[in-house]
Structure 1
Amino acid sequence: MKKVVLNYISTFKGLSTEVWWLAFITLINRAGTMVIPFLSIYLNEHLNFSKEEVGLVMLFFGLGSVCGSWIGGKLTDKLGYYKVMFGSLLLTGILFFGLQFLSTFREFCFGIFIVMTFGDTFRPAVFTALNAYSKEENKTRSLTLIRLAINLGFSAGPAVGGLIIVSLSFAGLFWVDAITCILASLLLLKVLHPKKAKELDSFRNQNPKSVYTDFPYWIFFFAMVIFGFIFVQFFSTVPLFYKEFHKLPEDSIGLILGMNGFIIFLTEMPLVSYFEKKKIDNITSIIVGLALTSLSFGIMLWTFWEYSVVVSMIVLTFGEMIAFPFSNAFAVKRAKRGNFGEYMGMYSVSISLAHIFAHFSGMMSISKIGYTNTWIIMFTIGIAGIALLFVLKSILQKETEVQLRESV
C-alpha cells in the first residue's frame, strides 16, 4: 500500500509552483459550477420548461461557450493569459449571481449565453498559461493536473449541490457559484501575478501559421466535436435519464456524477503516466478514450440491471481520463506551429461547439424517440468519431515520413 501511495505521489513531481496555483484556482472555480449538472433538472422541474425548451436553453449555453472560447483565444494572444483569466473569473461570478433571478424562457436563453461567453474565455487562457509555466517534458502531466482540479471540483460540486437542493433550494447553487468564481479571481491576483512568475517555456514562433490552414488539425477538431457531442450528454440528457427512468433523487444523482470526479482524482495521473511510459501516441490514446465513452452509452441500454448507471459512469470516466489529457497534449504540440492562443481557442471551441447541437438534439431525441434509441444513436456517432481519428492518424504518419525525408 505504501508503495502504491509513493508511486502516486511521484507522478506529480517536477511540476512548477505556478502550475499548482493554476490547478488550485481552477479547483475553487470548478467546485462552484455545481449548478451546471443540475441545470436541465432546474429548468424542467423548477421553471417548468418543456424538454424542447430545455434543449434550446442548452443550445444557447453552447453558443456562449463557443463565443467565449473563440474570443478567449483572440484576447489571450492580444492581452495575455493573466488579464483574461482574472476578468473571466470575476465577471462570471457576478453573472452567476444574477442568473437566479431569470425565470422566463427568453431571459434564461440570453442569460446563460452571456454567462458562458464570459466564463469560457478562461479556457484558452489557462491552457496558454500552462504552456508558459511547464517544461516540455511536463506539459501532459501539467494538463492532467488541471483536469484533476476540474474533476475534483466537479466531484465535490454535484455531491454538495445535490444536498443543497434537497435541504435548501436551487437558489443556493447560484450563490455558491458566484462566490467561488469571485474568490478564485481574488486568489489569482494574490498568488499568480505575472511579475512574480517566471515563464519556463521560452519558445515563441516568429512566423506563426494560421490554424485555419492546418488541415490535420481540422480533422482533429471535428473528431473532438464528435467526442464532445456524446460526452456532454452526461450534463443534460443523462441526469434526466437518472431522474425520470430510474427515479433517482437529486442527492443520488449528485453522488453518481460526483463519483466521476473522485475516480479521476485518484487514477488519472497514474493512468496518463502509464500511457506515456508505454509511449502510446496521442491519437491512439484519444481513440481508446472515445471507444470507452461510446461503450458507456451501450451499457446504459442494460436497463434491466440496477447497477448499469454506475458501471456506465465508471466506463465513461476512464474514457474521459484518456481522451481529454491526450487531446489537450496533441493540441498543445500542434499549437507550436502558430499563435498559441488561437490554436487553444479552437481546441476549446471544438468541445463548446458540441454544446450547441448536443444538448438540444439530445433533448429532442429523448422527447421524440425515447432514451433507448437516443443511446444507440450516441454509440453510433462515437464509432464515426473513431473512424475519423484513424484517418487523422494515417495523415499524421505520412506527414512525419515527409518531414523525415526532407531532413535527410
Structure 2
Amino acid sequence: MKNLFNNYINTFKGLSREIWWLAFITLINRAGTMVIPFLSLYLKEDLNFTVADVGWVMSAFGLGSVAGSWLGGKLTDTLGYYKVMVRSLLSTGILFIVLQFLNTFASICFGIFVVMLVADTFRPAMFVALNAYSKPENKIRSLTLIRLAINLGFSAGPALGGLIITGLGYGGLFWVDGITCIAATLVLINVLHPKKAKILDEVKTENPVSAYSDKAFLIFLVAMMLFGIVFLQYFSTITIYYKDVHVLSEFEIGIILGLNGFLIFVFEMPLIKWLENSKYSKLSLMFFGAILTGLSLLILNLTTWSGVLIIGMLLMTFGEMIAFPFSNAFAVDRAKKGNQGEYMALYSISFSVAHIFGHNAGLQLAGTVGYNTTWYIITAIAAICAIILFSLNEKLKTDNKRKAWKIKKIS
C-alpha cells in the first residue's frame, strides 16, 4: 500500500509551481460551476420550461461558447493570456450572479449566451498559459493536473449543488458560482502576475502557420466535435433521464455525477503516466476513449436496473480520462508551429460547437423518439468519431514514414 501511494505521489513530481497554482485556480473556479450540470433541471423544474425550450437554451449556451472561444484566441494572441484570464474570470463571476434574476425564455437565452461568451474567452488563454508554465517533457501531465483540478471541482460541485438546491433552492447555485469565479480571480492576480510567474517554454512562433491550413488538425477537430456531442449528454439529457426514467432525486443525481470527478481524481494521473509510456499514439488512445464513451450510453438500453447508471458512468469516466488529456496534448503539439491562441481557440471551439448541437439534439431526440432511440443514435455518433480518429492516425503514420524515407534518401 505504501509503495502504491508513493508511486501515485511520484506521478505529480517535476511540475512547475505555476502549473500547481493554475490548477488551484481552476479548482476554485470549477468547484462553483455546479450550475452547469443542473442547468437543464433548473430550467425545467424551477422555471417550468419545456424540454424543447431547454434544448434551445443549451444551444444559446453553445453559441456563446463558440464566440467566446474564438474571441479568447484572438485576445490571447494580442493582449496575452494573463490579461484575458483575469478579465474573463472576474466578469464571469459577476454575470453568474446576475443570471439568476432572468426568468423569461428570451432573457435566459440571451443571458446564457453572454455568460458563455465571456466565460469561454478563458479557455484558449488557459491552454496557452499552461504551455508557457510547463516544461516540454511535462506537457501531458500538466494538462492532466489541470483536468484533475477541473474534475475534483466537478466532483464536489454537483454533490454540494444537490445540497444547496435542497436547502436554498436553485438561486443559491448562482451566488456560489459567481463568488467562486471572483475568488479565483483574486488568487490569479496574486500568484500568476507576469512579474511573479516563471516562463518555462517559449510561446512565440516566428512565421506561424495558420491553423486553418492544417488539414490533419481540422479533421481532428471534427472528431473532437463529435466526441463532445456524445460526452455532453452527461450534462443535459442524462440528468433528465436519471430523473424521468430512474426517478432519482437531485441529490442522488449529484452523487452519480460526483463519482465521475472522484474517479478522475484517484485514477487519471497514474493512468496517463502509464499510457504515456505505452506504444500507443495519442490518436490511438483517443480512439479507445471514444469507444468506451459510446458504450457508456449504449448499455443504458440493455436493462431497467438502476445499477447500470453506475456502470455507464464508469465507462464514460475512463473513456473521458483517456480521450481528453491526449486530445489536449495533440492540440498543443500541433499549435507549436502556429499562433497558439488560434490553435487552442479552434480546439475549444470544437467543443463549443458540440454544445450548440449536442445538448439540443439529445433533448429534442429524447422528447420525440424517446431515450432508447436517442442512446442508439448518440452511440452511432461515437462510432463515427472513433472511425475518424483511427483513419487520421493511419494517415499520419503513413505521412511520417514518407517523411522519414525522404530524409533518409537525401542523406
**TM-score (normalizing by structure 2):** 0.98
Note the residue ranges of structure 1 that are not aligned, 5 or more in a row. none
Cα distance, 1:55 vs structure 2: 0.1
> What residue in structure 1 maps to residue 216 of structure 2?
216
- SS of residue paired to 1:18: helix
> What residue in structure 1 maps to residue 80 of structure 2?
80
2-side partners of 1:70 and 1:406: how far apart? 37
Equivalent runs, 1:164-183 vs 2, <5 Å? 164-183=164-183
> What residue in structure 1 maps to residue 315 of structure 2?
315
Cα RMSD, aligned residues only: 0.8
> What residue in structure 2 maps to residue 151 of structure 1?
151
Q: Per-residue displacement from partner, 1:23-71 (whole Å, max 9, x unpaired)?
A: 0000000000001000001001110111110000000000011111111
- SS of residue paired to 1:273: helix
1:191 aligns with 2:196: no
1-side partners of 2:241 and 2:295: how far apart? 17
2-side partners of 1:304 and 1:32: how far apart? 33
> What residue in structure 1 maps to residue 353 of structure 2?
353
> What residue in structure 1 maps to residue 229 of structure 2?
229
Cα distance, 1:407 vs structure 2: 2.8
> What residue in structure 2 maps to residue 63 of structure 1?
63
Cα distance, 1:242 vs structure 2: 0.4
Percent of paired sites with the same residue = 59
- SS of residue paired to 2:35: coil
> What residue in structure 1 maps to residue 142 of structure 2?
142
1-side partners of 2:48 and 2:261: how far apart? 29
> What residue in structure 1 maps to residue 385 of structure 2?
385
- SS of residue paired to 1:300: helix
1:94 aligns with 2:104: no
Q: Per-residue displacement from partner, 1:273-293 (whole Å, max 9, x unpaired)?
A: 110111321000100110100
Cα distance, 1:203 vs structure 2: 5.5
1-side partners of 2:204 and 2:253: how far apart? 46
1-side partners of 2:304 and 2:359: how far apart? 26
1:394 aligns with 2:397: no
The 1:204/1:23 distance shift into structure 2, 3 A limit, reads same
> What residue in structure 2 maps to residue 338 of structure 1?
338
> What residue in structure 2 maps to residue 54 of structure 1?
54
- SS of residue paired to 1:38: helix
What letter is aligned with 1:104? T
Q: Per-residue displacement from partner, 1:310-360 (whole Å, max 9, x unpaired)?
A: 110011000000000000000000111210110011000111110001111
Cα distance, 1:151 vs structure 2: 0.2
Q: Tell whether the 8 Å contact from 2:191 to 2:197 is kept in structure 1 after alignment.
A: no
**TM-score (normalizing by structure 1):** 0.99
Note the residue ranges of structure 2 that are not aligned, 5 or more in a row. none
How many equivalent pairs are there? 408
1:368 aligns with 2:332: no
> What residue in structure 2 maps to residue 403 of structure 1?
403
Cα distance, 1:162 vs structure 2: 0.4
What letter is aligned with 2:68? G
